Amino acid sequence: MSLQVYIDGEYYPKEEAKVSVFDHGLLYGDGIFEGIRAYNGRVFRLDEHLERLYLSAKSILINIGLSLEEMREAVLETLRRNNLKDAYIRLVVTRGKGDLGLDPRKCPKSAVIIIADEIKLYPKETYENGLKLIIASTRKNSPDALSPRIKSLNYLNNILGKLEAINAGCAEAVMLDRHGYLTECTSENIFLVRNGMLYTPTATVGILEGITRSVVMELCEKMGLPVQMSFLTAHDLYVADECFVTGTGAELIPVVDLCGRPIGSGSPGPITKKLLEAFRNLTQSEGTEIYKVASHN
């Protein structure tokens, strides 16, 4: 059976799932999205992802047209229709179909798209051996121009950084702000460890406050590991004992090399390994159930 894709309340086979060429999400990147993961029959941190989606919509004046409860059920039903227990969910809301002009008032109704499919993780070796990163010359968009807290469809800034990483033979690149402070990678947040303390860039520099980033900080608190949100530079990464990146798709991946400099010993560090294990245990036991078994009284 073909993958079923949700579009505006209807389900279509993958091959027939289409949007209008006049959709402003396509024409102008005018829309928002969330990437969400399901593990072991549960959607991990679904409410947090939906809250962020609706806050992004409010910020850019998109009326989603579904209540939060209706959207939650639509996500779960899409997973059910595709018989998925472990999956990646891409939830997209566009401004909708309009004309060739920029005016959002010409788009009378937003479009909602939900795609759920099996997740293709980074290879197992990446988690065992770690990533090599570069520092991109492309600077992160200034937060006073476009708030990074809006998870918008316009990712060209990130893609330019990603192209630099690919051309350098790396999977990821770290992006700096206009003052030279660390922000995040092209699709993940970043942490470093120095003398037993964890550091991550402050939101002030312009980062997406990632759901996985928040989960890692929760785990650190439970495990008694101190975390500090700071203004960080490339030098802080160069001299770090450990480094790792976090994201919905990536989960938690060690970083072992930055611009040809080994991070710490050049191998995944003990704190990174400990947090990765704790994160994976959490994802296997926590979340919104997809397939609820009816109770019989």
- Give start and end residues of each alpha helix (H) in 195-285: 211-222, 234-238, 270-283
Please tell me the total number of residues recorded for the chain in this structure: 297
Q: Does 85 qualify as catalytic in the annotation?
A: no
What gap in Å lies between CA 128 and CA 77, rounded to an integer?
A: 35
As a three-state string, the secondary structure of 141-204 is CCCCCCCCCCCECCCHHHHHHHHHHHHCCCCEEEEECCCCCEEEECCCEEEEEECCEEEEECHH
What gap in Å lies between CA 69 and CA 26, rounded to an integer?
A: 27
Contacts of 278 (CB under 8 A, 6+ apart): 219, 222, 223
Closest to 167 in 3D by CA, of 134, 125, 141: 134
HSE, CB side, 13 Å, CA atoms: give it for residue 260. 1
Rg (CA), the chain: 20
Closest to 135 in 3D by CA, of 253, 255, 246, 35: 255
SS3 274: helix
Catalytic residue, candidates 132, 140, 151, 162? 151
Active site residues: 151
